[in-house]
Amino acid sequence: MANQKIRGLDGLKSIKIQKKKPEPVKAPPPPAPEPAAGDETDEHLFTRAMAGVRAIDGLVRGREVAAKAAPEPRPPRADADLDGRNALLDLVAGKVEFELSFGDEYMQGFVKDIDQKVFRQLRAGQFSPEAHLDLHGLNAEQAHLALLHFARENYLAGKRCLLVIPGRGANSPGGLPVLKEELKTWLTRDPLKRVVLAFVTALPRHGGAGALYVLLRKFKKTRGKVRWEDFWDSLE
């Protein structure tokens, strides 16, 4: 158009001006569809709840608070068998303690961790004696050795309730029940204290004040923990 010569008004009218076509206006993309109520994720719910909320300087954001306020992990569960293992360790170490009470005609003793229901049954004569030992006519040394052999053989055989008959001591010098008094010591010291759970004066039908029920531990729980040979050697 620059090379064309315009001649008067008529020539100007003959010039055709080409108009630029306007560029089409792009429509904005449609908004993403809102998820259905049941399909909203935690992210959508959090975004909706926090809409319009401004963070304040110096404060911790909501999600950080939740993370810090999380419950502390629980301590590891205590072993349910810990007490049982400790009792066995005490048994092996010889730390077995007995509760004792006695009078002129009655005596009893039991380890401190015994089930009291079991002891009451023993005292009431509800366990039938599975073997008995009569100590009449024996001196203290003979009676002690006889008791050790008797307890060992029945313990290894798995028997639990024994009947030991020391007598009332009526025929002893001075009328003192020597063997009956000695029994309190023998049953609560090594090696017998490792296998004896309890003892108590028997009911009249089993000898009364002249006899004792002796309850032994279960053999399977203390197997190999009692070295009887060490005590045989000490008695020789």
Whose tokens are 């608070």? That residue is 65
Phi and psi at residue 197, in whole multiples of 5°? -95, -40
Cβ neighbours of residue 46 closer than 8 Å, sequence gap 6 or more: 63
- 3-state secondary structure string across 40-77: CCHHHHHHHHCCCCCCCCCCCCHHHHHHHCCCCCCCCC
Residue-wise pLDDT for 11-22, tens only, equals 555 555 555 566
pLDDT at 92 over 50: no
Ranges 25-34, 72-81, 148-157: which has the least confidence: 72-81
Give the per-residue pLDDT at 99: 93
Domains along the sequence of the chain with CATH: 98-235 (3.30.1370.110)
Residue-wise pLDDT for 30-77, tens only, equals 665 655 555 556 666 666 666 655 555 544 444 444 444 455 555 544
Residue 231 or residue 180, greater confidence: 180
Q: How far apart are CA 185 and CA 182, in angstroms?
A: 5
